[in-house]
Amino acid sequence: MGFDFGNLLNLLFPSKCPVCGNHSDSYLYSPICKNCWSGIERYTGPSCGICGTPTVSPHTTTCGNCLKSRPLFSKVLYYGIYDGILKEAIHLLKFNGVKRLSKPLGFLLSELPLPQANGIVSVPLHHSRLWKREFNQTASISRFLSKKLKIPLMPDVIRKIKDTPLQTDVTGKERFQNLKNAFSVSGNVSGLELLLVDDVITTGATVRECAKALKKAGAKSITVAALARSMPKQNT
């Protein structure tokens, strides 16, 4: 770890809250201010009982995608919609290296009604991307969750063996194609009930493939826990 002058400056002169423009007033959430952080809302609207996709009607309990092809995880739980302050916070952690945010973000995850589990695994980054971004934000959130819930962390259980294009650069069907057999499981997960942690779920293709690999390796059940889910676009 090199000396980071930018970080030191941030400590001495706390930055402005990127949401409201006021000075950040809490080291825990900085640069986001306390007031804005408390505005992060939990999504409680209607959603698919399996993958969690927000649905238009509370009477739909399973979405079209899950009806067509049932995922191998039992359920996806997520805190909020990938928008507003939650999106800002995830961006700061993921792309701006504000690592301390993994703690309060991990705390949001711990507030979800997660089932008992034997272990926590996280969605991996491919090693070339890990190197570019320097650290895996999902792994750091998982580490926090593991301590908080006292569920053993199982690091590096899932590996990405195929370097796929950034998921944001492709759409819909392409995502599923790109990720086919992109993950492999190492380590013994046989008979285990697992929590699979991801930061943002977009189409669900990544967690579907990870769950497939874990099941193939003998996992008993997989529950997905994510910080946010993006609102599904029409016709994708």
Considering only residues 5-34, where is the footprint of Zn ion by CB under 5 A?
Answer: 17, 19-20, 33
Min separation Cβ 156 and Zn ion, Å:
29
Sequential DSSP letters for 19-86: TT-SBP--TTTTTS-HHHHTTPPPP-S-B-TTT--B-S-TT--S-HHHHHS--SSSEEEEEEESSHHH
Per CB under 5 A, does 227 bind Zn ion? no
Min separation Cβ 100 and Zn ion, Å:
16
Residue 166: strand, helix, or coil: coil
Per CB under 5 A, does 92 bind Zn ion? no
Cα–Cα nearest to 208, from 40, 66, 54: 66
Rounded Cα distance between 155 and 120, Å, is: 8
Q: Of 153 and 201, which CB lies nearer to Zn ion in the complex structure?
A: 201
Min separation Cβ 12 and Zn ion, Å:
20
Considering only residues 196-225, where is the footprint of Zn ion by CB under 5 A?
Answer: none
Cα–Cα nearest to 70, from 208, 191, 231: 208
Cβ contact 33:23 at 8 Å: yes
Q: Of 88 and 199, which CB lies nearer to Zn ion in the complex structure?
A: 88
Min separation Cβ 155 and Zn ion, Å:
29
Per CB under 5 A, does 36 bind Zn ion? yes
Cβ contact 33:26 at 8 Å: yes
Query: Tokens for 29?
Result: 């959430």
Q: Which stretch binds Zn ion (CB under 5 A): 64-72, 116-124, 163-171, 217-225?
A: 64-72
Min separation Cβ 37 and Zn ion, Å:
8
Choose, by CB under 5 A, the member of 29, 31, 43, 48 that binds Zn ion: 48
Binding site for Zn ion (CB under 5 A): 17, 19-20, 33, 36, 48, 50-51, 53, 63, 66
